[in-house]
Amino acid sequence: MTEPTTAPLPTDDPIHGSILGNRVTRTEDPGLLVGANNYLADLPLDRPLHAVFVRSDLAHGTINSIDVVEAKMMPGVVDVWTAADLGIAPHHGFAKIHDDFARPPLAIDRVRFVGEAIAVVFAETQAQGVDAVQAVLVDIEPLPSVTDPEAALAEDAPLLFPEHGNNLAVADSPDAALDLEATADVVIRGRYVNQRIAVAPMEPHGCAAAPSPDGRLTVWPSNQFPHYVKGQIAASLGWSPEDLHIITPQVGGGFGGKAGMQHEYGVVAAAARRLDRPVIWVPTRTEDMQAMAHSRGQVQYAELGCTRDGTFTGLRVRLVGDGGAYPGIGAALPGGTRRMSHGTYDFPAIDFDVAVAATNTAPTGAYRGAGRPEATALLERLVDHASHELGIDPIELRERNLLGDDVFPFTTLTGNVYDSGRYRLPLRTAADAIGYDDLRAQQAERRASGDPKQLGIGVAAYVEITGGGGSPEYGKVEVHTDGSATLYCGTLSHGQGHQTTYAMILSDQTGIPIDRITLVDGDTDRVPQGGGTGGSRSLQTGGSAIHRATEAIVEQARALAAQVLEADPADIVIDRSGGTIGVTGVPASALSWGELAAKSEELTNGPLAAEHVFKSEGASFPFGAHIAVAEVDTETGQARLVRHVAVDDCGTVINRLLVEGQQHGGIASGVGQALFEEIRFDGDGNPITGNFADYGFPSAAEMPSFETHSTETPSPLNPLGAKGIGEAATIGSTPAIQNAVIDAVSHLGVRHIDMPCTSERVWAAIQAAARGDADPWRQPPPVFATLPKGLTGDAEAAEAADGI
């Protein structure tokens, strides 16, 4: 890359020139920094009972008996329940894929994964509960288990749900078969494993519940979606949603894993009501690692057709997904991978089949990106692989095939409508920022000198979907007589900094100081409706609702000020720097927002407030390019990330500091998946990565300082022009880092290394290449020959998958 590149801000964008786009520091941090906020375990509950679950230590088996007699007599134990005591019918929790896979909150007759809840102890203290769990005697007859999704689709595989007839949870084969060979000079082929990883939020999931004085039940789930959870708990218990008041405490990270209802919530809610006491369930880290949904878990048979000059002629993918023991939302995510498989490229044809299997493992669910990282990963692996085979520079090959700036709105072959994009800009910006030509020269020098430490440069271009699923969002603004303001929103901030950005939006139009604005979220009594936070939807939906509500309150304020000041509303001006409203040219007469709020109460008997429900016409599609530099020790296989440049385009940036924070966090997630993390099971289905000692969770020591940039291509779909940023950098970074590791050893003949690119794997790939055995291709499993055409799997689950 020699051409100098820049990332100009759009000149016609009215947002810039205001405080929006600034690096405003987070107003929510003081409470977090001094530990003043209440996480779930800190809730001031009155003598709560501690729920401790008895969990299966077998991956598959039939339950002969459960003996709770001794446990019930243990000190501090108030009760012990099995499924028969609980009396909650099997249900689908967050999302239904198929009726057959309903899950009982406490196992009935059969267990299907290690960690499945079988019984629950309610005790005065957590320690007493843990002791009593040891005294519950469960007799299980082991059954053969299957943890590998490909093995689960074999004809002779042990069946998780014999009545279902096979382990096929979802079959999604909507396209006609594509004859890639007919149009391509070269077909690039790879079998890529996008490994199962843990969500691992800093605070495990969990919940508490307590009877309220008004006869209802208050439930505090550590969750991203309070309003959905309200409906889901009510449905599972057969209660009316009005019987429930959901309040999310401070949530210590969610990353998709706290999206939707956990089956344990219903147990805790039912117990609080029946035992008429507060009940709290705080799982251990191991419990969280075993039973909270894992994510990714795909085997991708991917093929890219190219002409000799590097023009893509088509994409063919056969994808095997892992739905885990009770396929639900995780089984819908490979459909999202398919929908995002058009990527940033100008493909003439795509043929993409999905088969998702039930396996004897924890059910799968969302994790940062939820289906989109897997799409980008397979595309960007194929493109880098093609670049090595065709001898075309990876940036040049991408540029030859990227969609042009003039195609938007663009309808993909897989049914998405990309709202706006400029795909070459971030790629050129990233190449420029990292000094691409210099790096290639350094790489050539190291190769020529035979240095055992080789340099790899990994490129990835991506597009992703945010604000999918179509949920509307609620926002309300209320100005108080002391000049402060309260915002109400149906999203749920759990680390993202919504109070700060939403306050910037209100402050920008009114001049009310940001530090005098507070946000109320995560309370279903105080916020009437909400879509929660997932799918990086919050700013573009919740922020837009706040923006529209602010516009409405400004109009109200104008009318009120005109009445009070006896002026024409057309002459009323808002002084945003002083935070006052007055008549143009007469600053002395101006009213403060507090005075205006008082006037509102006096003249209208109501507060100065406005609300808005924002519904976008469609999802938005952020995009970008990442370039990673890895150093690989060819003697030990150790790979180290030494530089990482991210250029992400999330439309109009509202708070630059927060966007950079999300880029940093997103890249860190990518480092984890690309180099370190993998959930593994032994041959009997026992998880062998059950805590942070066994699971390769990276720390800051394994990461360089990230170099982050933004380009800004506004979305036409919301008044802010914003798209999401919460997952983007994970999607871009993961394949860039993987590609960098492979690029470092590509001159030795290596064409692919599955993630995580551990020393062992890299070393083995170098040895295999030396033996002339570096071809990652294998035939897709026979199941694809027999997949039914047409989508099967629940349509609502597919919509939910686009929204997380």
Least Å from the CB of residue 53 to ligand MCN:
24
Residues 428/1, Cβ–Cβ less than 8 Å:
yes
Across-strand partners of 287?
none
Stretch in the footprint of ligand MCN (CB under 6 A) among 1-9, 291-299, 408-416, 719-727: 719-727
Q: Which is nearer to ligand MCN, 101 or 255 (CB)?
A: 255
Stretch in the footprint of ligand MCN (CB under 6 A) among 268-276, 722-730, 769-777, 786-794: 722-730
Is there binding between residue 497 and ligand MCN (CB under 6 A)?
A: yes
Q: Which is nearer to ligand MCN, 8 or 238 (CB)?
A: 8
Q: Which is nearer to ligand MCN, 228 or 436 (CB)?
A: 228
Stretch in the footprint of ligand MCN (CB under 6 A) among 44-52, 444-452, 701-709, 721-729: 721-729
User: Can you tell me which of 232, 295, 300, 533 binds ligand MCN, judged by CB under 6 A?
Assistant: 533
Least Å from the CB of residue 427 to ligand MCN:
20
User: Can you tell me which of 654, 755, 797, 800 binds ligand MCN, judged by CB under 6 A?
Assistant: 654
Going by C-beta distance under 8 Å and a sequence separation of 6 or more, which residues neighbour residue 794? 95, 96, 97, 98, 332
3-state SS, 400-449, equals HHECCHHHCCEECCCCCEECCCCCHHHHHHHHHHHCHHHHHHHHHHHHHH
Is there binding between residue 800 and ligand MCN (CB under 6 A)?
A: no
Q: For residue 709, give the amino acid letter.
A: H
Least Å from the CB of residue 250 to ligand MCN:
12
Q: Which is nearer to ligand MCN, 15 or 742 (CB)?
A: 15
Is there binding between residue 368 and ligand MCN (CB under 6 A)?
A: yes
User: Can you tell me which of 428, 537, 547, 643 binds ligand MCN, judged by CB under 6 A?
Assistant: 537
Q: Which is nearer to ligand MCN, 77 or 658 (CB)?
A: 658
Least Å from the CB of residue 499 to ligand MCN:
9
Q: Which of positions 237-256 make contact with ligand MCN (CB under 6 A)?
A: 253-256
Residues 558/572, Cβ–Cβ less than 8 Å:
yes
Stretch in the footprint of ligand MCN (CB under 6 A) among 169-177, 185-193, 225-233, 534-542: 534-542
Stretch in the footprint of ligand MCN (CB under 6 A) among 3-11, 178-186, 205-213, 537-545: 537-545
Stretch in the footprint of ligand MCN (CB under 6 A) among 75-83, 338-346, 423-431, 658-666: 658-666
Is there binding between residue 196 and ligand MCN (CB under 6 A)?
A: no
Q: Which is nearer to ligand MCN, 144 or 253 (CB)?
A: 253
Least Å from the CB of residue 654 to ligand MCN:
4
- Using CB under 6 A as the criterion, what x/- string covers residues 674-713 for binding ligand MCN? ----------------------------------------
Q: Which is nearer to ligand MCN, 9 or 768 (CB)?
A: 9
C-alpha to C-alpha distance for 608 and 601, rounded to whole angstroms? 7
Q: Which is nearer to ligand MCN, 205 or 643 (CB)?
A: 205
Is there binding between residue 494 and ligand MCN (CB under 6 A)?
A: yes
Stretch in the footprint of ligand MCN (CB under 6 A) among 161-169, 605-613, 646-654, 734-742: 646-654
Beta strand pairing call for 473-479 and 410-411: unpaired
Look at phi and psi of residue 634 and say left if phi exceeds 0, alpha if psi is from -120 to 50, else beta.
alpha
Neighbours of 759 (CB within 10 A): 14
Residues 530/489, Cβ–Cβ less than 8 Å:
yes
User: Can you tell me which of 145, 414, 655, 663 binds ligand MCN, judged by CB under 6 A?
Assistant: 655
User: Can you tell me which of 324, 651, 714, 780 binds ligand MCN, judged by CB under 6 A?
Assistant: 651
Residues 706/663, Cβ–Cβ less than 8 Å:
yes
Nearest Cα residue to 5 out of 588, 443, 432, 503 = 432
Burial tier of 84 (Cβ tally within 10 Å: 0-12, 13-18, 19+): exposed
Q: Which is nearer to ligand MCN, 57 or 799 (CB)?
A: 799
Is there binding between residue 662 and ligand MCN (CB under 6 A)?
A: yes
User: Can you tell me which of 236, 501, 600, 673 binds ligand MCN, judged by CB under 6 A?
Assistant: 501
Residues 271/82, Cβ–Cβ less than 8 Å:
no
Residues 603/591, Cβ–Cβ less than 8 Å:
no
Is there binding between residue 426 and ligand MCN (CB under 6 A)?
A: no
**Per the structure block, which two tokens stand in for 150?**
């490909």
Residues 550/505, Cβ–Cβ less than 8 Å:
yes
Q: Which of positions 253-312 make contact with ligand MCN (CB under 6 A)?
A: 253-256
User: Can you tell me which of 204, 373, 724, 793 binds ligand MCN, judged by CB under 6 A?
Assistant: 724
Is there binding between residue 623 and ligand MCN (CB under 6 A)?
A: no
Measured over the CA atoms of residue 334, residue 340, residue 344 and residue 347, the dihedral's sign is: positive
Stretch in the footprint of ligand MCN (CB under 6 A) among 68-76, 86-94, 557-565, 718-726: 718-726
Is there binding between residue 665 and ligand MCN (CB under 6 A)?
A: yes
Count, residues near ligand MCN per rule CB under 6 A: 34
Least Å from the CB of residue 441 to ligand MCN:
36
Q: Which of positions 726-745 make contact with ligand MCN (CB under 6 A)?
A: 726-727
Q: How far is CA 667 from CA 641, 661, 701, in A?
A: 11, 10, 14
Distance in angstroms between the alpha carbons of the first and the last residue of the chain: 36
Residues 40/280, Cβ–Cβ less than 8 Å:
yes
Q: How far is CA 90 from CA 106, 109, 267, 326, in A?
A: 9, 12, 12, 11
User: Can you tell me which of 376, 401, 414, 496 binds ligand MCN, judged by CB under 6 A?
Assistant: 496
Least Å from the CB of residue 731 to ligand MCN:
11
Q: Which is nearer to ligand MCN, 313 or 364 (CB)?
A: 364
C-alpha to C-alpha distance for 715 and 726, rounded to whole angstroms? 16
Residues 593/485, Cβ–Cβ less than 8 Å:
yes
The DSSP element (H or E) to which 379 belongs, if any, is helix 372-390
C-alpha to C-alpha distance for 802 and 536, rounded to whole angstroms? 11
Maximum CA pair distance of the chain?
A: 89
Q: Which is nearer to ligand MCN, 368 or 709 (CB)?
A: 368
Q: Which is nearer to ligand MCN, 61 or 724 (CB)?
A: 724
Q: How far is CA 129 from CA 41, 94, 133, 136, 318, in A?
A: 16, 28, 6, 11, 47
Is there binding between residue 658 and ligand MCN (CB under 6 A)?
A: yes
Residues 416/344, Cβ–Cβ less than 8 Å:
no
3-state SS, 505-570, equals HHHHHHCCCHHHEEEECCECCCCCCCCCCCCCCHHHHHHHHHHHHHHHHHHHHHHHHHHHHCCCHH
Q: How far is CA 117 from CA 177, 290, 364, 795, in A?
A: 43, 11, 16, 28
Q: Which is nearer to ligand MCN, 147 or 491 (CB)?
A: 491
Q: Which residues of 179-196 are buried (b: 16+ CB within 10 A; e: fewer)?
A: ebeebbeebbbbbbbbbb
Is there binding between residue 653 and ligand MCN (CB under 6 A)?
A: yes
Q: For residue 376, give the amino acid letter.
A: T
C-alpha to C-alpha distance for 660 and 667, rounded to whole angstroms? 10
User: Can you tell me which of 297, 323, 495, 637 binds ligand MCN, judged by CB under 6 A?
Assistant: 495
Stretch in the footprint of ligand MCN (CB under 6 A) among 183-191, 286-294, 637-645, 650-658: 650-658
Is there binding between residue 498 and ligand MCN (CB under 6 A)?
A: yes
Is there binding between residue 650 and ligand MCN (CB under 6 A)?
A: yes
Is there binding between residue 82 and ligand MCN (CB under 6 A)?
A: no
Q: Which is nearer to ligand MCN, 353 or 677 (CB)?
A: 677
C-alpha to C-alpha distance for 242 and 317, rounded to whole angstroms? 46
Interface positions with ligand MCN (CB under 6 A): 253-256, 368, 494-498, 501, 533-539, 650-655, 658-659, 662, 665, 722-727
